[in-house]
Structures are given as C-alpha cells and as structure tokens.
Amino acid sequence: MALLADTGPVSFEEAITSRVWRDAMLEEIKSIEKNNTWELVSLPVEKTPIVVKWIFKLKLKPDGTIAKHKARLVAKGFMQKEGLDYSKVFAPMARLETIRLLVALASWKGCILWQLDVKSTFLNGLFEEEVFVTQPPGFTNKGSEDKVLRLKKTLYGQKQAPRVWNRRIDSFLAKTRFHKCSVEHGMYVKQLSQKARNLYICLYVDDLLITGSSASEIEALKENLKGEYEKTDLGVLSYFLGLKFQKHDCGLFMH
C-alpha cells in the first residue's frame, strides 16, 4: 500500500467521485476542444470507433507533496489495425550521445542552454488517416449518444501519434530555416548571418534543448514557438538527464 500511496484512481468510476479529479478531467477536455482535436459525427457503416479511456496520475513536487492532479484521455491503441488506422509509426528522436555532444559544445563555446517543453504534444499532430473514437466517459453529448468523434488531430495512446507530431514540428522548423542533420534526425541547425554563428536544437519527443551563439535569435525562436504551440519554458538548464553543471572561470563544465 505504501508503494501505491502516490498513485491516482485506477478507474473512471473511482475518479468521478472526487471533485479534484472531475476538475482535472474537465481541464483535459477543455484543452482538447481548444485545440480543435475532433468533431462530433455519425459513424460511417464501414468504420469501427476506437475506444478511449481516462488515465489518472498525481504529479509530485521534489518534497513529495502534490503538485497537480493530471487526467489524460487516451485512445486504446491496441484496437488500431495497420493499413486501416495507421501506416507508419516510427518517429526519430535524439540519442543520448547527441545530447551529450550538444552539452559539450555549449560548454566549450560558453553558450547558454535552454529547455522548452511542448504541452499536450501529441494533440498537435495533424491526421492523414480517417479515424473515429468513442465519446469520453462522463462527457457524452446529450441527445447524441449514438455519435462518435472524428479526429482531426492525434490523441495520446494512438500508435502513429509520435510520428504525426514529429512530422509537424519538423515542418515548422524547416519553415524557420533550420536544417535537419543527415545522420541524426533529432538534431537541427540554423546558420545565422554572422560567420560561424549557429543555433542548435536537439529534439527529444516533446522536449527541445536549444543553444547557440545569439541570445536574441534564441528569444526570437522561443516567440515563434509560442505562436505555434503551447509550451512551458523551463529556463536555463542546470540539470538534464542526470548531467550536472558547474561554473568555472572559463565557462560551464560538465562532469
């Protein structure tokens, strides 16, 4: 029981009895609808909807106290059929060796590292396939109980969600003149007008590690991202994947 003390409800029926979890579910639904993720339609004869469910999790602060009650609506991806509901699922992301290399490069050049986290990442991917899901438990439209939701964007739990998100962020970075590394597809470089001055982005699912020789260009990039996605600016990086930094006379050194 001690190991389960910081876990959330295991079922919707359990969560609906608590006000904090009802508020968490309502917040998730508002976020999804704000993102224009779906539309209510009648199910075509030849289609089968994917069932969705709620997952509940307590997010804790470093001291062990509760930071947030998080409710996530996810699709039961195991119900998807290859070739019908999805085709490709692979999505590239940066390797740990690449992240270490970027950290070492920033340390050597004396550049600041910034970390950004994109909120509700998989809700930003645009669909190519036609996919339908059931209405969320507890949020069925009255008078339209027999209808389903046609997805315009991906949901968590879908097999192609990581790939669809990666395709969108890749397209956005290409428009802002970033070039993908030919051997590491989670690494992007933008050459600035000044000689030998570049911006670097390391993409790890929904986390962006940014560094470069121009602070103003980094701020401009953050503003562009803000206009495209809802994100959390985690500020100047002090800890990343267990790597600790110390300040010395000649800059930041990793050990």
**How confident is the model over 205-254, as pLDDT tens digits?**
778 888 887 778 888 888 887 766 665 555 555 434 444 444 333 333 33
Instruction: Pick from 70-84, 136-150, 183-197, 219-233 the range whose average pLDDT is largest.
Output: 136-150
* Lookup result for tokens 């990086």: 237
| pTM: predicted TM-score of the whole model, two decimal places | 0.63
Tokens of 74: 């996810």
CA–CA separation, 26 vs 205, rounded Å? 26
For range 47-63, the mean pLDDT: 88
CA–CA separation, 114 vs 102, rounded Å? 12
User: pLDDT digits over 152-189, tens only?
Assistant: 887 887 777 778 888 888 888 888 889 998 888 889 98
pLDDT at residue 235, rounded to an integer: 56
> How many residues in the chain?
255
pLDDT band at 77, cuts 50/70/90?
A: confident
Burial class (CB in 10 A: 0-12, 13-18, 19+), 50: buried
pLDDT at residue 129, rounded to an integer: 73
pLDDT at residue 136, rounded to an integer: 94
Q: What is the per-residue DSSP string for the chain?
A: --TTTTB--SSHHHHTTSHHHHHHHHHHHHHHHHTT-EEEEPPPTT--PBPEEEEEEEEE-TTSSEEEEEEEEEE-GGG--BTTTBS--------HHHHHHHHHHHHHHTPPPEEEEETTGGGGPBPSS--EEPPPTT-PPTT-TT-EEEESB--BT-TTHHHHHHHHHHHHHHHTT-EE-SS-TTEEEEE-SSTT-EEEEEEETTEEEEEES-HHHHHHHHHHHHHHS-EEEEEE-SEETTEEEEEETTEEEE-
CA–CA separation, 127 vs 153, rounded Å? 5
